[in-house]
Amino acid sequence: MPNILRAAPIAAVLLCISTNAHAQTREDEHVWINLTSIGPLSGDLVYFAEVQPRIGDGSSRLDQMILRGAIGVKLNRAVTFYQGYAHVVLPVEGRRDVNEERSFQQLNWTIGQKMGGELSSRTRFEQRWRSDGRDMGWRLREMLRYETPLKPGTQGPSALLYSELFVALNTTDWGARAGFDQIRNFVGLEIPVGGASTIEAGYLNQLVDQSGKRSRMNHVASLSLFFRH
């Protein structure tokens, strides 16, 4: 069976998770751009740095700007541990922007070859502070990612699927509530662009839990450039 067909049932499951939303769901269209640089520092020390503008409200205005970086150590060929920091700007129309600061710990694990492709995991534990409150929020994020070549044995594009679950571990005075926070599911392509660098392009569905048994679903055109050196 071609690898793209093997991946199709996984994509269907991810999309079903997103569409099983609460009755009161507000929908929006977004464009997310991610520019990331990844590389070695010295020996087993590595880094990543990224800029992520996210455009929302019918893809008409800046919804978020994320600046994030981390330094990591390779524990072995399959596992890397990072300590990082992120600054997030949340524009508010007619008022001062809300800023969020995040410290995070991250574990990347290349699980191995499955169904002709590669399965990997990213676990991120965040400590969050916002300018509109005084509490620190704790959040756990878990991503499973699967990629498989469209043409096995070649260096061409790969089908790419991932799902990331967010769980808030406490309630804060700035709006976080303990429990399910959001889930993101992505279906698209990973395209080599020279050396180890890649472009990832596709559709991302984001389901966010909100107060009062309401939810928000964002339909996202996602474009990422990973510059690896």
d(CA 93, CA 61): 10
Q: Is the pLDDT of residue 20 over 70?
A: no
Mean pLDDT of the chain: 91
Using CB atoms within 10 Å of the CB of residue 174, give its burial: 0 to 12 exposed, 13 to 18 middle, 19+ buried. Answer: middle
Residue 1 has pLDDT above 50, yes or no: no
Residue 117's pLDDT is what? 93
Q: What are the structural domains of the chain?
A: 3-228 (2.40.160.40)
Using a pLDDT cut of 90, give the percent of the chain over it: 80
Q: How far apart are CA 38 and CA 214, in angstroms?
A: 38
The pLDDT of residue 211 is 72
**How confident is the model at residue 6, as a pLDDT?**
52
Q: Is the pLDDT of residue 226 over 50?
A: yes
Q: Are 223 and 203 in contact (CB under 8 A)?
A: no
The pLDDT of residue 147 is above 70: yes
**What is the pTM (predicted TM-score) of this model?**
0.88
- Give the mean model confidence (pLDDT) for residues 199-223: 93
Q: What is the mean pLDDT of residues 194-215?
A: 91
Q: List the single range of 15-19, 94-98, 138-142 with lowest mean pLDDT.
A: 15-19
Read off the pLDDT of residues 40-67 as tens digits, 9 standing for 90 and up: 999 999 999 999 999 999 999 999 999 9
pLDDT of residue 62: 96
